[in-house]
Structure 1
Amino acid sequence: MPSPTDSGLITSSALARYRLAPNPGPMSLEGTNSYVLAAPAGGRGRRPVVIVDPGPLDEEHLAGLASAGPVELVLITHRHRDHTEAGERFHQLTGASVRAMDPAHCHGGDPLVDGEEITAAGVRIRVLATPGHTSDSVCFHLPDDGDTGSVLTGDTILGRGTTIIDYPDGRLGPYLDSLAKLNALGRAVVLPAHGPVLPDLAAVSLAYRQHRDERLDQIRAALARVGAGATVQDIADLVYADVDSSVRRAAEASVAAQLDYLSNPG
């Protein structure tokens, strides 16, 4: 991994850098990657920037992001606190509009719209609604980022491991559709909100789909073993027997999402 600069920013692609928030944990891995987007340097003066997911309410972290350049816009990938908690404070610090799919997390800006194209800080950004992890999850496609483009995937795709379906707000059916949507973008670079950068979106989205199919087979087998009266906890005991207690709630949410999908695949 590249070394951070004095401002704590790590280069991840031609148009993107990130600052790692100080919130490591079982669900956030090393912490939240708060991204700084900007056109390549040129001319005089500091480049304006776009910030994606300002992260937790940590003043040092926010100051580091604000020092990257004049903040033109702030974008949010989804509602979870490790991405949104600092949104209102960062709006106060920078004056920049904060836009999210969910109006509750917008500050001085309009809600995002699926398919809209934003140009800010010299960067072309396509908004892709990718519900599943949460109902309001979005990804941001940077088609001009290097030879293959890049996609900021939020928690829809992580840099390591797999994401949870935060049922009942998140749903497996829409998540599988979102994986297909991302797969269609080809070999774009994956810029995840947690974990390392990945080189091939098509490959990782396919692997995620295969993992989900394998889990569904395990759920079916567990149902056959335990019977129709099985609870979410019963199924989790069988399918997620090896998970640490710190992520047990997430495992149960994923089981509930899979049982819901099997009952209502449409």
Structure 2
Amino acid sequence: MSALRIDLNADLGETTAGNPVADDAAMLEMVSSANVATGFHAGDAHSIAQTVRAAAERGVVIGAHVGYNDIAGFGRRFIEYQPEELADEVTYQIGALDALARAAGTKVAYVKPHGAMYNAIVHHEAQAKAVVDGVKAFGDIPLMLLPGGVAVDIAEKNGLTVIREAFADRNYNPDGTLVSRTLDYAVLETPEEVTARVLQVAETGSVTAYDGTRLDVDAQSICTHGDSQGAVDMLRNVVATLKDKGIDVRSFI
């Protein structure tokens, strides 16, 4: 990772029951990669297509934000799956989003698991392998993952490029996993905290856990959640600070 370049990504296209959960247009003015919902945890064909077209117009790289088939729980509840079923659902989600992307003159360039799936495959070997199998069935495209989990090893052993990711607005446990959203300190809520985290990742390749432990993540991309309170203003502060520091916001692709 270069100290002069970092990718900023955001989870977008997550319209639920007709109501957007983020200001996609504003976020797309600032991020370099968009993790676009595929309809399983959020989004519908029309709203997803709108986000894809907006991303294409701005030259933002599109990733498939695949998740559990759980709209009611926004994909944040763990679900047991037969591995073959999970792999097929991953392939299906990537393919559906890629069809909308190609209609907009672009394509799906990477995959990022969402929510409970993302956290599960840090340690759940069977599901990690199923997700990797689902991605490879579509093609050898990069997979964005939390550093240090079993999914990273499985993906790389199967020939996939892994994009290691850090989070601008989530607290970390000392073992490198994310603090559960059920806890009140799971999310960083002030612009100062979020900007400091992004700078730490971009300049040192590390994050600091909630107990002060420093964790080496060497992340190529940083996630900024569009549905957090004040997300747009926070990201504007981040982008302005990166510019002042001479750090370019550019996709890893």
Higher Cα Rg: structure 1 or 2?
A: 1
Higher helix share: 2
What TM-score do the two structures reach when normalised by structure 2? 0.35
What TM-score do the two structures reach when normalised by structure 1? 0.34
